[in-house]
Amino acid sequence: MPPAYFRYILPHNAASDRDILYFPYWRFKGMIFSCVTGGRVDDRFVDTSQQAVASRHFPFSAGLRPQVGKLTFATKKSDGRFIHPDVAHGDVIDLFKNSLTRFLPRPIYHQSYVGDAISLLYAPFYVSGRLYDAVLNKPITNDMPEDLVATLDKSEKIQNETRFFSAICPACGWNLDGEKDASVLLCKNCQTAWQPTNKGFTKLPFVCLTEMGRLKTSLPFWRITADIDDISLRTIADLSRLANLPDLARRKDAQIRFHFWVPAFKVRPKLFLTLCRRVTIAQPRAEGDHKLPEGTIIPANLQVEEASQTLKIILAGLAKPSKVYFPKLNQIRITPRKALFVYIPFNEDHHDFVQPKLNLGLRKRLLTLAGNL
Ligand SMILES: [Zn+2]
């Protein structure tokens, strides 16, 4: 999704005549799944930040402020001076890996990071004899550190404007439905779905599983077809053997291709993984309408690239016994080949979404809570 990463500004509380200086932090926000001993998959949601320029004078992380402050996008119209990040965006995830895994038991057989890409967060400061935090309006140094000048010299105005494509349907010119973080936008006029890319919108084929009922609410999923090396998982019958689920082998379609299923929306990691497993074990047939579902449509905000990060974690949860498979996870190669965008219809009552054919329910409250994930 354009641009390569988002830049946000934390609002300051300083007097309006202060010359605000923005110090950069890399922020990682997303889910981490780790295969650890005992056949356990550890899941956690993380929102953390770390200096994007090494400095003794500024706080090491932006702390809890990004979660409580209202962030705005940094553009070339933003006032203030911005310190340029030292660490390249591509190297940042490695910085975080150490701090994010130190709580886990060893060995870690496999780990996946899923969710938002890394973003850059500018926190406000100002100089007045010493260095001040412009959120709290409190000094953070006792005097004016001499070597601070070198850091301040790296400040600049923002050059690149955060670009958004106008959300207009390329096919019919109608306004597309979708929030800023949407991974798929919909045109309700010509019944099409669109994926934002660097070059604009690409049309996305989709199917709505109306064979499972014409129900009130539709939830988006990615059905991902992948090549798997070092393990036999090509058909539903293979899944039956691997996961020790004999009922699957008795299905009429046991010889057709196996697919991974991943929610295309963000929820708490535990529920996310449960949905992956439950729908992947069910192996629903992708049959139904090729037009948008009627009723409520839950927006898709997880990109297919992100969803693909979970495939090995799903496999790890399915393969039995895990004692045998966990140590092999590193050697197993999973290459996603094809993705289909699918809406699964759910009934809706006061508290839950329920899919009767899949015998699957989820608390509506958990989807609402996921709004700020
Ligand atoms: Zn259209």
172 found inside a domain? no
- Give the chain's domain count: 2
Measured in Å, residue 373 CA sits from the centre of ligand 1 at: 29
Measured in Å, residue 195 CA sits from the centre of ligand 1 at: 13
105 found inside a domain? yes
pLDDT of residue 161: 53
Measured in Å, residue 133 CA sits from the centre of ligand 1 at: 48
| 165 pLDDT more than 60 | no
Reading across the β-sheet that carries 185-187, which strands appear in turn?
185-187, 192-197, 200-203
Torsion sign across C-alpha atoms 338, 309, 198, 178 = positive
Measured in Å, residue 175 CA sits from the centre of ligand 1 at: 8
Measured in Å, residue 205 CA sits from the centre of ligand 1 at: 14
Q: Which of 121, 156, 191 is the last residue of a domain?
A: 156
- Can you spell out the DSSP letters for 35-78? EEGGGEEEEEEEEEEEESS--SSS-SS-TTHHHHS--EE--TT-
Q: pLDDT tens, 201-233? A: 999 999 999 989 889 999 999 999 999 998 999
Place of tokens 């070339």: 76
pTM summary value: 0.86
**What is the extent of the structural domain holding 116?**
7-156
**Shared domain check, 221 and 151:** no
The overall average pLDDT reported for the chain is 89
**Shared domain check, 298 and 211:** yes
Measured in Å, residue 290 CA sits from the centre of ligand 1 at: 14
141 found inside a domain? yes
Measured in Å, residue 167 CA sits from the centre of ligand 1 at: 11
Measured in Å, residue 123 CA sits from the centre of ligand 1 at: 40
Measured in Å, residue 204 CA sits from the centre of ligand 1 at: 12
pLDDT of residue 2: 40
**Shared domain check, 263 and 150:** no
**Shared domain check, 363 and 302:** yes
245 found inside a domain? yes
